[in-house]
Amino acid sequence: MTIREGRPSDRDALVALWSGIEALHARLTPDFFRSPSTDAHAAKQVGSALAEAHGRYETLLVADLDGRVVGFVHVALFDTPRSPEMVERRRARIEEVIVAEAERRRGVGRRLVDGARAWSRQRGAEQIVLTVWSGNADAMLFYRALGFAPVSQVLGRAP
């Protein structure tokens, strides 16, 4: 398996995987996320990620297994604002990560996150963060096993 930057030729596989993320989010928080009836929204998200992915501040890494895209991680960099009282610092954020169901528990996700960490370090990130939606126990266990720990908690309610 190879971890490499995503390419436009990966689009169909990425859309299928991204649709899986959207379906999961719709199951976890149906009052906020709606399950898309088509892959149109996923295609729009993939198109945007691919367009931005090769810039200095964002990448889309894919897990390529014998010519098949079986997972991806989308990661972006953020700098703290410069001010007299703060030193500028860089943080990386994993926006999405998903592995095809048939390839889970085989090290694909770990390799993708390792790739995201290496990409982030090479660009000066001091920390890498991500969000796990409440109810996604498998993801929470996976990320904790990779050494991620809570740094904040987001609470929500209707306005």
CATH topology of domain 2-145: Aminopeptidase (3.40.630)
Domain ranges of the chain: 2-145
CA distance 110 to 116: 10
Residue 93 near residue 125 (C-beta atoms within 8 A) = no
Quick check: pTM over 0.75?
A: yes
140-148 contacts: CB < 8 A, separation 24 or more?
142/109, 146/110, 146/113
11-68 residue pLDDT tens: 999 999 988 877 777 777 777 766 655 567 777 878 877 877 666 789 999 999 999 9
Distance, CA of 73 to CA of 5 (rounded, Å)? 10
Query: Distance of CA 111 to CAs 20, 23, 144, Å?
Result: 20, 24, 15
